[in-house]
Amino acid sequence: MTTFYRDADIPAMLADFGVPVEFDGVTDQKGIVDYVDSVTLKENGIGGVVNKAITVQLQTSAFPSLAASSAIQKTIVVDGIRYTVRDRLQQTDGAMTHLLCTN
């Protein structure tokens, strides 16, 4: 059985391990930031270009532009660091959204 977070459950989850996020005029929310190495170009199974992928996970309903799909190319400040949103990926039931960012 698949279980989804209810919208009311998400702020409590983010309060424990989220970091401050400022995005599109909203300054009182938290998100989860992750930095992982990503192979963006490979040939015949051999990695060619490795870069740092920066993802920020946010509660969709807390940021109006996430629901409207207008987040791309906007600036986001995560834990005091400024990034640019490159893509938006809605997760499962839509309660959470991953933003792919660059600095």
Size (the chain), residues = 103
Q: Please give the model's pTM, rounded to 2 decimal places.
A: 0.81
Torsion of CA 93, 70, 39, 19, to 10 degrees: -70
- pLDDT given for residue 1 in this prediction: 44
Domain boundaries, the chain: 7-102
- pLDDT given for residue 101 in this prediction: 95
Q: What does the mean pLDDT of the chain come to? A: 86
Please list the ranges in the chain whose pLDDT falls under 70. 1-5, 47, 67-68
